[in-house]
Amino acid sequence: MATIINADTSNGLKLTSDTSGEIQLQSAGTTIATVDSTGLTMASGKLIASTGPAFSAYNAGTQAVSAATITKVVFNSENFDTNSNFDSTTNYRFTPTVAGYYQINVGIYYQGANNGFILLYKNGSVLSRLAGTQSGLAMLSGSALVNMNGTTDYLEMYAYDGGGQTIGSGSSSLMFFDGFLARAA
């Protein structure tokens, strides 16, 4: 058995106590989760819903990248930005206000790459080089898991092309930058 805490629809809180060292959390008599000495276990089909920051930004137009010049990609539109942490008007950067580890994804279409690649910048410096190609039309995409302090840390995407190139092609699916809190600090 277990100590049961049940949010009953007729009587409100119902508490059944024992000495098993286990607690079952119930809603209307249905077990949602169990807590014991090993930790919290969700019942089959039940979820812990995360409310951490998530964003999805894009550029539905095109952008010129000068030859051999690392250029910040202008993500000036948003599909969503749950915590208002993405700046799509001035700096085109993600500054999460919750500390933790963020899964970051990016995709950029090159109309004809010449040693083109994508760079993830953290706080104004290169953090990682995500994807690259030697030549030709290319949809470059990459991802990273980044530790953010929830106050001053910010992320930006830069694009490079050895010969100069146009990125994007007039579709929101061809130049995107998104991410979410994968694990709290």
Q: Which residues are CB-neighbours of 174 under 8 A, at least 6 positions away?
A: 107, 108, 109, 139, 168
Stretch that binds another protein, among 32-40, 65-73, 105-113, 147-155 (CB under 8 A): 65-73
Cβ 9 to another protein shortest distance, Å = 55
d(CA 76, CA 19): 58
For position 46 contacting another protein by CB under 8 A, the verdict is no
Residue 173, exposed/middle/buried by CB under 10 A (0-12, 13-18, 19+)?
exposed
Of residues 17 and 66, the one with the C-beta less far from another protein: 66
Size of the residue set binding another protein (CB under 8 A): 19
- Interface mask toward another protein for 135-154; x: CB under 8 A: --------------------
Q: Facing residues of 39 across strands?
A: 36
Site for another protein in 66-105 (CB under 8 A): 66-74, 91-92
d(CA 163, CA 168): 16
Cβ 54 to another protein shortest distance, Å = 24
Give me 147's structure tokens: 């530790």
For position 115 contacting another protein by CB under 8 A, the verdict is yes
For position 52 contacting another protein by CB under 8 A, the verdict is no
Give me 88's structure tokens: 């799509």
Q: Facing residues of 86 across strands?
A: 94
Task: Kindly list the residues in this chain that would bind another protein in the complex (CB under 8 A).
Answer: 63, 65-74, 91-92, 115, 117, 158, 160, 162, 164
